[in-house]
Amino acid sequence: THDRALAADWRGSLGARLDYWSNTDGHRHEFAPSTGTVTRDDHYADEDGYAFSPNAGLVWQAAPGIRARTSVYEAFRVPTLNEYYRPFRVGPVTTDANPNLKPEKLTGGELGVDLGNPRAGLTLTAFANEIRDAVANITTVPPNTRQRQNLDLVRVLGLEAGAHWQALPALRLEADY
């Protein structure tokens, strides 16, 4: 990430990350506990890929104790080994794994304001995110069989608020919602 002053009251930042991921030797091996007989022996194709995650931000120090900020970003998440390969059961509900899941991709942005100083202050941030290929548990055979699947698109809009107060040198109180 690169951060620099753009003008007296403005700062900008640019960042990028390139990740390589791989998933090799995926398999599911099951056997009957009473006999030891193999009941399932699945082997899955190896997968790998690259993911580029850029980000940019801008901060304006409007006045002492008043700061506005904005940022845009992209990110990714590869499904976990449990999501790919490990089914589980909770009560009567079985959730099947899915070795064909795709990585999740997030695109988002936020806008915020910070009021105060290091001793006491408030923050407020609004954000909007879109997640493509989000992993979710989808009911496939009602009412008790689900499978992990990719959703086309999830839109998330939100608001975060926070406050802090340095009551004593060794005591800082914080609250966030």
* pLDDT tens for each residue of 97-130: 999 999 999 999 999 999 999 899 999 999 999 9
User: What does the pLDDT average to over 5-30?
Assistant: 94
For 84, the enclosing helix (H) or strand (E) is helix 81-85
Residue 141 pLDDT > 90:
no
Cis bond leading into 99, ω under 30°? Answer: no
Pair 162, 173: CB distance under 8 Å: no
* CB atoms near residue 38 (< 10 Å): 10
Q: Mean pLDDT, to the nearest integer, of 124-143? A: 95
How many Å apart are CA 20 and CA 83, to the nearest integer?
Answer: 19
pLDDT single digits (tens) 31-86: 999 999 999 999 999 999 999 999 999 999 999 999 999 999 999 999 999 999 99
